[in-house]
Chain A
Amino acid sequence: MIIQGDTGDWEIVIGLEVHAQVISNAKLFSGAATAFGAEPNDQVSFVDAGFPGMLPVINEKCVEQAVRTGLGLKAQINLTSVFARKNYFYADLPQGYQISQYDMPIVGEGTLLIDLPDGSTRAIGIERLHLEQDAGKSIHDMHPSKSYIDLNRSGVALMEIVSKPDMRSPEEAGAYLTKLRTILRYLGTCDGNMQEGSMRCDANVSVRPVGSTDLRTRCEIKNVNSIRFVQQAIEYEARRHIDVYENGGEIKQETRLFDSVKGETRSMRSKEHAHDYRYFPDPDLLPLVISQDLVDGIKATLPELPDEKKARFMAEYGLNAYDAGVMVAEKDSADFFEAVAKGRDGKTAANWVMGDFFATMNSDAKYTWTNPPVSAENLGKMIDLIKDGTISTRLAKDVFIFMVETGKDPATIVEEKGLKQVTDTGAIEKAIDEVFAANPDKVAEVKAGKDKLMGWFVGQVMKATQGKANPGMLNELIAKKFKE
């Protein structure tokens, strides 16, 4: 995206840091539970509360989840990595430091392909992924003079996933987050729920004149809790930078907060320089050394990931890039589609799943992937009935609605409701004759060259057969009749 300023054209440079809560039963360095929504401070060990003398012991599942995510991002896995202390003081950080990884993260450079609206893809670099502890939660609105602290989240494992500054528009940033969330969900390493805060995003934004390749001072926008807000925040921030530069000002590096009500960012605090965190290797933890066998073992259990699934859907079922991208956006929708499409025409299956099925699915919150409006099995059977000529596509729309209402098998519905399409030439011809006899003036008009009226005849005959006439045969027979 290019923004036109008063002095010329500007380009946005965006890098994203995503904090993804690891799916595990226990925390990164303690045996306390990670479940969301427990009573305050009820899932806290003395390690999480920073009590003196408590020693962290790493949870092997969290290590495996980080490796799994790294493999999903086609990234380098570092068999030796080191935990470091990031020192800062805040009320919800009882240790006075966060155990994180600094110069030796568990995962190095990788790649993520973003899917753009026109069906094309673009590679965004991953800089690194490291493991670290989450902080507790501060609640500021429950008491007039005090903040409340809940340490249930303290010590839960996070993966900080850092992109390279490769994105150039809010749309690309949105596509990156969407794709990353999809991959995390496929892998089962993070539930990707931004509202509950299990996936959080900080955006680093700067601008530069088009054609320039140097990076200007960036600002970091913290903890924006939806993809839409991330995009809004980036756009606002980029325009703010351009305004400042064009009025002869300078951008200073700082952390900013996005106000979703006003749609603007505002200064939060001057960003401490990296050395202010005084990182040093955590003396309580030896280097984390994992074996290539462990990595290979995890690699062998990776599911088919969205990019591969998309390519296969295009090759196997003949879907275009956009449709395939929509199908694989969620593993559940991909599985549903595949159950419908298996052994059938892929494009027909895609049209039904993306059309009537998605529309119904989204029309009512009671529908979920475990309780879909129509089962994949029944939708597939309905497509078979279209294929073998029992019903037309037009009648199938009605069958679909009855399936949603009753959950019955489509063949049963066709039987009960008498929705079998009429393919008997004699019956259709009879209906055509009746319509012709009732409208001699219009017949004359068509014969005089008013071809547009043909459609009107098709509609009338269709109506006379309660929509059951086979549309292909009907068109053919009407055309033939006019030629007589």
Chain B
Amino acid sequence: MSLDKAAVRAIAELARIEVRDEELDHLAGELSGILHFVEQLAEVNTDGVPPMSSVADLTLPMRADVVTDGGQFAAVLANAPDGVVEDHGGFFTVPKVVE
């Protein structure tokens, strides 16, 4: 499978990555190269083989339903663009999102 310029542009848009038009050809080549490399796996017959989710024989660990976290809004907001600002009452602030 190869990617054309339009597909690369669409993927970049979905990922919110700014890509200039002159970069598209180059990226299409590189991404297609990666896909071709991975496609070698298709040569192996995997009929009837269940997908492997982990190389170790692990199951999903679970947690008890107990509150063990939270109560730290200052730490949560420490890296926010506006930080912890009195005026904003403990909220994150972002440029107005208009739907």
A contact residues vs B (CB 8 Å cutoff): 24-26, 30-33, 39-47, 49, 57-63, 82, 87, 89-91, 138-140, 142-143, 145-151, 257, 268-269, 276, 278, 281, 285-289
Please list the 5 inter-chain residue pairs (A to B) with the smallest Cβ-Cβ separation, ordered nearest first.
Answer: A61-B65, A31-B68, A31-B69, A148-B91, A45-B69
Bound complex: CA of A32 vs CA of B98, how far in Å? 29
Which of B14, B70, B91, B95 contacts A40 (CB under 8 A)?
B91
A58 CB to closest chain B CB (Å) equals 5
A20 CB to closest chain B CB (Å) equals 17
- B61 interfacial contact with A, CB 8 Å: yes
B62 CB to closest chain A CB (Å) equals 4
A152 CB to closest chain B CB (Å) equals 9
B54→A286 contact, CB < 8 A:
yes
Which of B16, B60, B66, B90 contacts A58 (CB under 8 A)?
B60
Bound complex: CA of A382 vs CA of B65, how far in Å? 46
Bound complex: CA of A149 vs CA of B92, how far in Å? 5
A41→B91 contact, CB < 8 A:
yes
Which of A87, A147, A289 contacts B97 (CB under 8 A)?
A147
Bound complex: CA of A318 vs CA of B38, how far in Å? 68
Which of B14, B63, B90, B96 contacts A146 (CB under 8 A)?
B96
Which of B65, B71, B88, B96 contacts A25 (CB under 8 A)?
B65
A-B Cβ contacts below 8 A, count: 128
Question: What residues of B have a CB within 8 angstroms of the CB of A150 in the complex?
Answer: 90-92
Question: What residues of B have a CB within 8 angstroms of the CB of A63 in the complex?
Answer: 62
A91→B97 contact, CB < 8 A:
yes
Question: What residues of A have a CB within 8 angstroms of the CB of B16 in the complex?
Answer: 89
Say whether, besides A91-B94, A148-B88, A281-B53, A32 and B67 are in contact (CB < 8 Å): yes
Question: What residues of B have a CB within 8 angstroms of the CB of A45 in the complex?
Answer: 69-70
For A152, give the chain B residue with the smallest CB separation.
B70
A44→B70 contact, CB < 8 A:
yes
B69→A151 contact, CB < 8 A:
no
Say whether, besides A44-B70, A49-B76, A286-B54, A31 and B63 are in contact (CB < 8 Å): yes
Question: What residues of B have a CB within 8 angstroms of the CB of A58 in the complex?
Answer: 60-63
B contact residues vs A (CB 8 Å cutoff): 14, 16, 53-54, 58-73, 76-77, 88-99
A39→B90 contact, CB < 8 A:
yes
Question: What residues of A have a CB within 8 angstroms of the CB of B97 in the complex?
Answer: 90-91, 138, 140, 147
For A81, give the chain B residue with the smallest CB separation.
B60
Bound complex: CA of A42 vs CA of B96, how far in Å? 22
B59→A286 contact, CB < 8 A:
yes
B95→A145 contact, CB < 8 A:
yes
Could you say which of B63, B68, B88 has the most chain A C-beta atoms within 10 Å of its C-beta? B63
Question: What residues of B have a CB within 8 angstroms of the CB of A90 in the complex?
Answer: 97
Bound complex: CA of A257 vs CA of B99, how far in Å? 10
Bound complex: CA of A40 vs CA of B87, how far in Å? 13
A31→B59 contact, CB < 8 A:
no
A278→B89 contact, CB < 8 A:
no
Bound complex: CA of A39 vs CA of B76, how far in Å? 13
Which of B60, B65, B67, B91 contacts A139 (CB under 8 A)?
B91
B76→A41 contact, CB < 8 A:
yes
Of the A-B pairs whose beta carbons lie under 8 Å apart in the complex, a sample of 29, sorted by A's number, is A24-B65, A25-B65, A26-B66, A30-B69, A31-B66, A31-B69, A32-B70, A39-B73, A41-B76, A42-B73, A42-B90, A44-B76, A45-B69, A46-B76, A57-B61, A57-B63, A58-B63, A59-B65, A60-B62, A61-B65, A89-B16, A139-B91, A143-B96, A146-B88, A148-B89, A149-B93, A257-B99, A276-B14, A289-B59
A33→B99 contact, CB < 8 A:
no
Bound complex: CA of A150 vs CA of B93, how far in Å? 9
Say whether, besides A33-B67, A57-B62, A91-B97, A40 and B53 are in contact (CB < 8 Å): no
A149→B70 contact, CB < 8 A:
no
Say whether, besides A32-B67, A62-B65, A147 and B94 are in contact (CB < 8 Å): yes
Question: What residues of B have a CB within 8 angstroms of the CB of A24 in the complex?
Answer: 65
For A32, give the chain B residue with the smallest CB separation.
B70
A41→B73 contact, CB < 8 A:
yes
For A89, give the chain B residue with the smallest CB separation.
B16
A146→B65 contact, CB < 8 A:
no
Question: What residues of B have a CB within 8 angstroms of the CB of A61 in the complex?
Answer: 64-65
For B95, give the chain A residue with the smallest CB separation.
A146
Question: What residues of A have a CB within 8 angstroms of the CB of B59 in the complex?
Answer: 286, 289
Say whether, besides A26-B67, A31-B69, A41 and B77 are in contact (CB < 8 Å): yes
